[in-house]
């Protein structure tokens, strides 16, 4: 409207714009109104079925790509656990021609959204959607890596989040238990069983969780654990290898 301020608005366009403004004023996320978001060079559909992909999660993708370069020999098998919209799985599959990425989630709505995004990006042959509880159904020592952006917000902090997040994004994608680390406590031993010796696990964490999360991974058999900051300098990703 700013760029074309001399053009008259039709009644239909004006009505549509008024609706959008009212929805945004009610704190509905802009991404839900637009219907898409850019993530790692991909345009993805978003909705209330799954968490909106965020820029800090690109740090997780970049860290994974550093451990699984495009020139990796053989056929990589990587699991994106709690795939939501499919953003991480799609970003990895788009950059790793040797990879088969398993996008795992337990929410039917999220899986439907991920399926739509996989078709949108023409990556059906590279990503396998799986409905499951974390890695419970994955055979032992069959993965080269696990990548996960699981819920990590402490339950008590949910009500203090911005309305765009608190009221419009799925609570199951946010709440991580009393300290935010309950999902990681469940994932770590599953990942230790599912990846091959020397395989990698990479997880996104919240501010202030580095120490406790590192301990959880080390107790499960992952060592060493490296911390990678996001663009704000906050420790955002932990990357570790399974001890042989």
Compute how many other C-beta atoms are within 10 angstroms of the C-beta atom of residue 203.
29
Range of the domain at 67: 35-242
Q: Where are the beta strands (DSSP E) in 118-169?
A: 127-131, 143-148
Compute how many other C-beta atoms are within 10 angstroms of the C-beta atom of residue 205.
24
The model's pLDDT over 135-186, given as tens digits with 9 standing for 90+, comes to: 999 999 999 999 999 999 999 999 999 999 999 999 999 999 999 999 999 9
Q: Is residue 88 part of a domain?
A: yes
Q: Is residue 166 part of a domain?
A: yes
The model's pLDDT over 36-46, given as tens digits with 9 standing for 90+, comes to: 999 999 999 99
The model's pLDDT over 174-221, given as tens digits with 9 standing for 90+, comes to: 999 999 999 999 999 999 999 999 999 999 999 999 999 999 999 999
CATH number of domain containing 125:
3.40.50.150
Q: Is residue 219 part of a domain?
A: yes
Q: Is residue 18 part of a domain?
A: no
pTM over 0.75: yes
Backbone phi, psi, residue 179, to 5°: -115, 5
Q: How many domains does the chain have?
A: 1
CA angle 200, 153, 90 (to 5 degrees): 45
């Amino acid at each position: 409207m700013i760029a074309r301020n001399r053009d008259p608005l039709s009644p239909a366009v004006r009505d549509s714009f008024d609706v959008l403004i009212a929805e945004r004023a009610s704190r509905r996320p802009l991404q839900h109104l637009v219907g898409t978001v850019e993530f790692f060079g991909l345009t993805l559909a978003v909705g209330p079925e799954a968490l909106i992909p965020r820029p800090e999660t690109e740090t997780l993708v970049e860290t994974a790509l550093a451990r699984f370069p495009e020139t990796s020999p053989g056929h990589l098998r990587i699991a994106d656990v709690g795939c939501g919209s499919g953003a991480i799985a799609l970003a990895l599959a788009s950059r790793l021609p040797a990879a088969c990425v398993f996008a795992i989630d337990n929410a039917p709505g999220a899986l439907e959204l991920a399926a739509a995004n996989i078709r949108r990006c023409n990556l059906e042959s590279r990503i396998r959607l799986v409905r499951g509880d974390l890695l419970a159904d994955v055979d032992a020592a069959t993965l080269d890596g696990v990548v996960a952006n699981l819920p990590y917000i402490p339950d008590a902090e949910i009500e203090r989040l911005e309305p765009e997040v608190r009221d419009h994004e799925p609570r199951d994608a946010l709440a991580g238990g009393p300290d935010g680390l309950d999902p990681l406590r469940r994932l770590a031993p599953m990942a230790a069983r599912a990846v091959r010796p020397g395989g990698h696990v990479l997880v996104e964490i919240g501010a202030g969780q580095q120490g406790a999360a590192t301990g959880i991974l080390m107790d499960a058999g992952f060592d060493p654990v490296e911390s990678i900051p996001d663009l704000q300098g906050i420790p955002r990703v932990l990357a570790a290898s399974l001890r042989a």
